[in-house]
Amino acid sequence: MRFNALRLSVFVLGLFALASLGFAQQKPQPDIKFTALRVMTAGTKATFVLCGDRLDFTTVKSDKPTLTAKLLSVKPSEGDFKRFGSQQVTLEAEATKDCKPDTYPLTLTHKEGGKVTTSVAVIEAVESTLPVKRPISEFGKAMPLTGGSWLVQDSLTGGNPDYFRFEGKAGERWEFRVLAGRMGSSTDAVLRIRDARRIALTMAAGIPKRDRKLLFTCPKTGSYTLELSDMELKGGKEFSYALVGRRLP
């Protein structure tokens, strides 16, 4: 009995030693805690920031010929990015004009050999990418949207929605989309269209990780306002969004 007990003890100690050795040899994995919204249009170049710890990447690669990517920098986190870890990584992606709208994977290789995958959403080309000029968190200060198609990218400030105004003619058909949760944003987007009297005409909400989409026919000629918010009215750098509008033929 003593011999069997001794053998059992040696066996258990051996397993413990092997397990300890395995844990000691296991390399810490990159920990990405924040990713900027990765949305771009075909035929353009864009930069994106990732933040976290142990992000010592050496390369980034796309496996599609119509989308290329390169690593611009890996450096200590700066400013508000410090909330999301000790390092920030800047990537650059470029989509050709014939790059089809889709979500494309990007593979990041760590200096110790590990790999991490992120993604970029490429959408159809638009007439213009419009810079946000705040304040736009009041109905009366809505940002004007011009042209037949456009892209707006920003982050919600929290507490209030962001407002955008466009002009429509009676019978005109528009398509609006919000890309957020599917591309790494914390935004659980709610999109409404209001008329000049602030009456809500239609809205889109639902599963956080899905895009929001509205098809809208203008009931009369005039101004209409897009109201974009988080379901819980939260805000911050991580509550980013891409708002795409397009007049339909």
128-248 belongs to CATH 2.60.120.380: yes
Angstrom distances, CA of residue 91 to CA of 53, 62, 118, 143: 16, 12, 11, 29
Q: How far apart are CA 87 and CA 90, in angstroms?
A: 10
Predicted confidence at residue 24, as pLDDT, reads: 44
Q: Any idea which residue has 């528009």 for tokens? A: 174
Predicted structure pTM score: 0.83
Ramachandran angles phi, psi of 206, nearest 5°: 150, -140
Q: Give domain limits for the chain.
A: 31-123, 128-248
Position 182 scores a pLDDT of: 85
Strand bridging mode 222-230 / 162-168: antiparallel
Q: Give pLDDT, residue 10.
A: 45
Name the 3-class secondary structure at 10.
helix
Q: Report yes or no: 181 and 210 within 8 Å, Cβ to Cβ.
A: yes
Asked whether the CA dihedral 198, 199, 201, 205 is positive or negative, the reply is positive
| CATH fit for domain 31-123, picks 2.60.40.10, 3.40.50.1820, 3.90.960.10, 3.30.390.10 | 2.60.40.10
Hey, is 18 helix, strand or coil?
helix
Query: What pLDDT does residue 21 have?
Result: 46
Q: Which residue's entry shows tokens 């700066």?
A: 78
User: SS3 for 41?
Assistant: strand
Q: Which tokens belong to 186?
A: 């914390």
User: How many degrees, rounded to 5, is the angle at CA 151 between CA 231 and CA 198?
Assistant: 50
**Considering just the CA atoms, what is the radius of gyration of the chain in Å?**
24
| Strand, helix or coil for residue 56 | coil
Q: From first to last of its 249 residues, what are the pLDDT tens digits of the chain?
A: 554 554 545 444 555 554 454 444 566 789 999 999 999 999 999 999 999 999 999 999 999 999 999 999 999 999 999 999 999 999 999 999 999 999 999 999 999 988 999 999 999 999 999 999 899 999 999 999 999 999 999 999 988 999 999 999 999 999 999 999 888 899 999 999 999 999 999 999 988 888 999 999 999 999 999 999 999 999 998 999 999 999 999
Instruction: Measure the CA–CA gap between 180 and 208, rounded to whole angstroms.
Output: 8
d(CA 5, CA 18) in angstroms, rounded, equals 20
pLDDT at residue 243, rounded to an integer: 97
Q: Report the pLDDT value the prediction gives residue 4, as an integer from 0 to 100.
A: 56
